A and B are shown apart, each in its own frame.
Chain A
């Protein structure tokens, strides 16, 4: 065998190893589930357990799943949001370096408000509840519709809040 042929085999073996281990990891981590709309996919990595449990007991669980409120509904923005959250969540959970209690980011907060309006727009038309940034959000008052009175270890983003531990 010539030298180039030898290196080809070496690279082929290494690449297959990578693909094999990668594919197994993807399967083991239930990677495909993230393309679905199944709420169980959201508790794959445990931190959402409290949110999942409380959603099951809250008023909206008959009409809305996680993705109905937390993701845009148009195809491209939906997958962009999935990619954005997927990256942040897997990085955070792997390196265990996220803020606790977990907070909704401003971007996801805006998505949430859009989704309230998507269903309830005719009801609130003309009341000043809009999707604009800084406008009053529906969950300001109706914060228990998605996750009940207490959501265990998470809470709603507050733009006035300074981050960091108590002094």
Chain B
């Protein structure tokens, strides 16, 4: 027979060729399956296996349907560190920020922050850290949970179905009472999917009553909003209905609004419902102006605490990231919070928003290089320079404030009557507000470097004026 080549007469060769063919076929099949997977991924980015509703606060439930987003969300439990931001290593609680900037303690004398002011950790810890902080040894209001828990079901329960009503009642509860109800209802989760996503369509939306009211007040003001085009459009209209972010804002704006639900300046005490002070604009002096003209329900002019050394009724800045970002070049160029803090990543054939919300410095190639096509080291060096300058200017402002407090303390020791130090106290409120506005903001000036320098410059000026005023009062008496 000449039908088969001679080599195939050896059993060994036949076996080898057969094995080779089997392996090659298996390989091609594996490739086929791989291509099939990628194609179906591209066609169907997710499969809804469980129903999620407005009351599904447990992120693990959502994670069944959207495992890629959930996997990255869980990573917020990892501790990360950048030069100026970040957290302690393996300790149960992060390192005290006080050790780094000792002047913070003196600035906050008389406020619960002076007890315990820590670097923040990731989203996963927001509720646990809040439940543990030593600040709770002083009475705190239920308002604080607005941003530390997946709170909407509790608001609905408190308001008999009306979340706005529940929100308005929540500041009267103590933190412990509100926290207990949250646990009893089974919604003791940190910020969760439902806080930013509509459960049926996954569309971005805002839920927090504090933000909705704040942004409505901001829209109704005359403050410029070039970075928020839907507000400008609303202003140009008849303004009959209040501005509604959920129906009017575009996707780019929503990608910042969802973060602005919490990363902002606010009042969160027991005297009135949680307030976002945006009725006169978003800049430091607009917010100051808002607080200066605001009255507590009992008629008293607004203040956060009386300074323990000087008795000045001062303001405490929270973390005005949304406000400072609003003044910067990134906001003006249409870059949203999520663009840098939750940049798109690719997973297989799908495009996913990275839910490991973190510093862009830890993810420069996705966060920055999508737009800035320059080497990574150069980007890092630029950010470093901006933050270093801001930090140096902030230390100068802090020194100026400490000098003012010294001058006021000396005047007091020499028996200068309280009334004569009114100007100095007034200037302390101004200086301290500006310094704190930048110190409490979580970007070390990066969100708007020039604006941050302007605010710090004013802080230095007011503190030195205050120092002069205290010395003058001392000389006169």
Contacts and interface: CB of A to CB of B under 8 A. Distances in A.
B373 A156 contact: yes
Interface in B333-376: 344-346, 348-349, 351, 361-366, 369-371, 373-376
Interface string B1-42: 101100011010010011001101100110110111010001
B281 to A, nearest CB: 30
Given A11-B21, A25-B31, A46-B42, A100 B348 contact: no
Interface in A11-49: 11, 14-15, 17-18, 21-22, 24-25, 28-29, 45-47, 49
A17 B34 contact: no
A143 B8 contact: no
Interface string A83-102: 00000000001101000110
B17 A11 contact: yes
A17 B21 contact: yes
Nearest to A20: B25
Interface size class of A (residues with CB under 8 A): 35 or more
A153 B370 contact: yes
B372 to A, nearest CB: 9
Given A46-B42, A155-B369, A166 B8 contact: no
Contacts of A22: 25, 28
B253 to A, nearest CB: 18
Given A4-B1, A166-B361, A18 B25 contact: yes
Contacts of B365: 100-101, 165-166
Contact of B25 (A10, A17, A150): A17
Given A100-B346, A101-B365, A155 B25 contact: no
Contact of B24 (A11, A18, A100, A155): A18
A3 B14 CA distance: 11
Contacts of B371: 150
Interface in A42-65: 45-47, 49
A46 B38 contact: yes
A15 B23 CA distance: 11
A122 interface: no
A8 interface: yes
Interface in A125-167: 143, 150, 152-153, 155-156, 158, 160-162, 165-166
A4 B8 contact: yes
Interface in A97-136: 100-101
Contacts of B370: 101, 150, 152-153, 155
Nearest to B377: A162
B35 A158 contact: no
A60 B70 CA distance: 40
B380 interface: yes
Contact of A25 (B18, B28, B42, B369): B28
Given A14-B25, A21-B25, A153 B18 contact: no
Contacts of A158: 373-375
Query: SS class of chain B's interface: helix, strand, loop or mixed?
Result: helix
Interface residues of B, number: 43
A4 B18 contact: no
A156 B363 CA distance: 18
Contacts of B36: 28
A101 B18 CA distance: 42
A112 to B, nearest CB: 15
Nearest to B9: A4
A46 B349 contact: yes
Nearest to B14: A7
Contacts of B377: 162
Nearest to A46: B349
Nearest to A22: B28
Given A11-B21, A15-B21, A101-B370, A96 B9 contact: no
Contacts of B29: 21, 25
B375 A160 contact: yes
A22 B29 CA distance: 8
B4 A4 contact: yes
Given A7-B8, A46-B349, A155-B373, A25 B25 contact: no
A100 B366 contact: yes
Contacts of A46: 38, 42, 349
Contacts of B369: 101, 155
Contacts of B34: 94
B319 to A, nearest CB: 24
B370 to A, nearest CB: 7
B4 A8 contact: yes
A144 to B, nearest CB: 11
Interface in B42-85: 42
Contact of A24 (B8, B11, B32, B375): B32
Interface in B262-306: none
29 contacts: A4-B1, A4-B4, A7-B11, A7-B18, A11-B21, A14-B25, A18-B24, A18-B28, A21-B25, A21-B29, A21-B32, A25-B29, A25-B31, A25-B32, A28-B36, A29-B31, A45-B349, A46-B349, A94-B31, A101-B369, A101-B370, A150-B371, A153-B344, A153-B346, A153-B370, A158-B375, A162-B375, A166-B361, A166-B362
Given A93-B38, A152-B344, A166-B362, 11 more contacts: A5-B1, A5-B4, A10-B18, A11-B18, A18-B24, A18-B25, A25-B35, A46-B38, A153-B344, A153-B370, A161-B376
